Structure 1
């Protein structure tokens, strides 16, 4: 038995298991994180962009000051991105709460319509249990609205 064998038995290091456990570690998925942050000037825009630019896993950062929207693309955790923006800028930040107007069945239902929303967007109420019942059409409503629709071939032609 040589000196190296003796030392390797003392250390009892199994490099093969260590390497394979590192290799099997799950990788994060590519995600798009949209955050609403109020920005008034170019300085605010720069500080918001700079706050997430150096994060590990970030591949692309886009800032739309007019819509107060920050878009981060990369292999990141959305909660960590949100916390980082809040911590580094000191501004109130939240996940992007709006969806396009066409996605919500009743965009003017209470809770869906938001005056602060950008043009063509309403609040995403389909995920919120408090307002989701108001934003969805019941079967009775659908029945009556399609009875007088031009798209329905069996519709009433009273109009």
Structure 2
């Protein structure tokens, strides 16, 4: 054993390793009007440590960053370019049970997307819900004339 090993054993110092961030995809909504805006946002995000791929879709006002990054740091970096930015508030239309519920339908949403809002289920005593479940296969008391 060398002197350094002896000292390290005496102090019981173990090298600490940083936890690596998980690979994730961060989507941000940013209003971009021109090529200069797009280039400024792309350069700000591409220079981040851990960013693997950056996709900018100016038509949808969407920036997608994939890599070992912190979502809050990506949002902060985009905001530092002088643009108003927020996390991507939309989900695909086919993943929502009631896409036209209050606060979910947004005219500004890209085609095929609705706002990610809390989905309220209809009241089980509502008349339209009673007629819908009357002939349901999941209802054990349903009518079996078919």
TM-score bucket of the superposed structures, by smaller chain: 0.7 to 0.9
Residue 31 of structure 2 corresponds to residue 38 of structure 1? yes
How far apart, CA to CA, are the structure 2 residues paired with 1:125 and 1:80? 24
How far apart, CA to CA, are the structure 1 residues paired with 2:62 and 2:101? 24
What is aligned with 2:131? Answer: 144
User: Structure 2 regions of 5+ residues with no counterpart?
Assistant: none
User: Structure 1 regions of 5+ residues with no counterpart?
Assistant: 127-131
- Cα pair distance change 1:27/1:156, threshold 3 Å: same
What is aligned with 1:17? Answer: 13
Taking the TM superposition and a 5 Å limit, the aligned residue runs for 1:82-93 are 82-87=75-80, 89-93=81-85
Taking the TM superposition and a 5 Å limit, the aligned residue runs for 1:67-106 are 67-87=60-80, 89-106=81-98
Deviations 1:58-97 (CA, angstroms, capped at 9, x unpaired): 000000010000000000110110011001x111100000
How far apart, CA to CA, are the structure 1 residues paired with 2:7 and 2:65? 41
Q: TM-score, normalised by structure 1?
A: 0.73
Number of equivalences: 136
Shift of 1:148: 6.3
Structure of higher RCO (CA pairs closer than 8 Å, 6+ residues apart) = 2
What is aligned with 1:118? Answer: 110
